[in-house]
Amino acid sequence: MHTGTTLTQFIIEEQRHIAGATGDFTALLNDVVTAIKTISNAVNKGALIGVMGALETENVQGETQKKLDVITNEMMIRSNEWAGHLAGMASEEMDAVYPIPTKYPLGKYLMVFDPLDGSSNVDINISVGTIFSILRAPVPNRAAAEADFLQPGVKQVCAGYALYGSSTMLVLTTGHGVNGFTLDRDIGEFILTHPAMKIPADTKEFAINASNQRFWEAPVQRYVAECLEGSTGPRGRDFNMRWVASMVAEVHRILTRGGIFMYPRDTKDASKPGKLRLLYEANPMSFIVEQAGGVSSTGYERILDMTPENLHQRVPVILGSKNEVEVVLGYHREG
């Protein structure tokens, strides 16, 4: 028998320190956890339950949807819409704000999510994840409009991700550090296994999709070239490279042993200043990374300070070990 702290216990104990807390947030988080357990189960069963493969539809971002993109989006909605904690939801897989059905009460929070991050990996049994971010509704108990969601990342009340890897983990911040929980399937509970996660300040590991190299800007070209020169170049040490193509898996690796992850500004498509989405990916991950002592930037500005212009806005992302990200930001300042 384990004697670990469950996620519910952890959140309730954390909430006791917040004056005026009503338990709403704990209840909301429990609904998110239910969705994550359901998604973990579907991802894990995979081909046994016929959820692999692509659909013929595209999402609002122009990306072909996987069956699981749509199924997991539905799971997040069904689990979180009914309890009266939310005034609206927005997701990478839905064109517009999802209004809470009128048969349910409205609440004081907003939730945004990427239901299945790294979904190009699902058919090949490589790690995928779910990313979520909780904001306060500007006007509680009123159906949320798009403008209500366009809050800078510093306003997030909570951000987290689930990683469906060799084990299922939930990593969470409410602005008081970062804690990691592992799903014990036998009892159906997330148990605190990674308290107070901290990103090592130094690293010799970088992550970038090198197939985009010809589109990168000069500062990123310089940084990667210097990493590749290794111990014979200006950095004076050999680097290692990883690319999982699941941001959740990359961020989890960085939280565990350090590293730098870049999906930088490039010239591939003038209409997209980056690939990753500010609301669903960059903001929640930046909140977690900063709370673990790391840095997250577009190269030019702190991501958490950006005021979003629209729900599906994309941004460049450079995040990870403090000292390494600072090297790249220095190259951006030099131009």
Q: Contact positions toward Mn ion, by CB under 5 A?
A: 92, 114, 116-117
Contacts (CB under 6 A) with ligand AHG, residues 262-291: 275
Query: Which one, of 227, 187, 149, 254, lies nearest residue 37 by Cα?
Result: 187
User: Token digits for 317?
Assistant: 């992302």
When CB distances are held under 5 to 8 angstroms depending on the partner's kind, the choice from Mn ion, ligand AHG, none that residue 275 binds is: ligand AHG
Residue 6 CB, shortest distance to Mn ion, in Å, is: 28
How many other CB atoms are there within 10 angstroms of residue 122's CB atom? Answer: 24
Residue 56 CB, shortest distance to ligand AHG, in Å, is: 17
Name the phi and psi angles at 124, rounded to 5: -110, 15
Residue 271 CB, shortest distance to ligand AHG, in Å, is: 16
* Nearer residue to Mn ion within complex by CB, 239 or 280: 280
Residue 133 CB, shortest distance to Mn ion, in Å, is: 13
Q: Does 28 bind ligand AHG (CB under 6 A)?
A: no
How many other CB atoms are there within 10 angstroms of residue 22's CB atom? Answer: 10
The single-letter code of the amino acid at 51 is: V
Q: Per this entry, what is the length of the chain?
A: 335
- Contact of 136 with 110, CB cutoff 8 Å: yes
User: Token digits for 165?
Assistant: 């890897």
Binding mask 41-80 for ligand AHG (x = CB under 6 A): ----------------------x-----------------
Q: Beta strand pairing status for 189-194 and 205-208?
A: unpaired
Contacts (CB under 6 A) with ligand AHG, residues 157-216: 209
Name the phi and psi angles at 112, rounded to 5: -120, 145
Q: Beta strand pairing status for 178-184 and 189-194?
A: antiparallel
What is the DSSP secondary structure assignment for residue 78, as one 8-state letter? Answer: H
When CB distances are held under 5 to 8 angstroms depending on the partner's kind, the choice from Mn ion, ligand AHG, none that residue 209 binds is: ligand AHG
Binding mask 89-118 for ligand AHG (x = CB under 6 A): ---x---------------------x--xx
Residue 268 CB, shortest distance to Mn ion, in Å, is: 17
Contacts (CB under 6 A) with ligand AHG, residues 209-248: 209, 245-247
* Nearer residue to ligand AHG within complex by CB, 60 or 187: 60
Residue 212 CB, shortest distance to ligand AHG, in Å, is: 7
Q: Site size for ligand AHG, by CB under 6 A?
A: 12
- List, in order, residues 6 or more apart from 304 with CB less than 8 Å away: 152, 153, 154, 156, 283, 286, 287, 290, 296
Positions touching ligand AHG (CB under 6 A) are 63, 92, 114, 117-120, 209, 245-247, 275
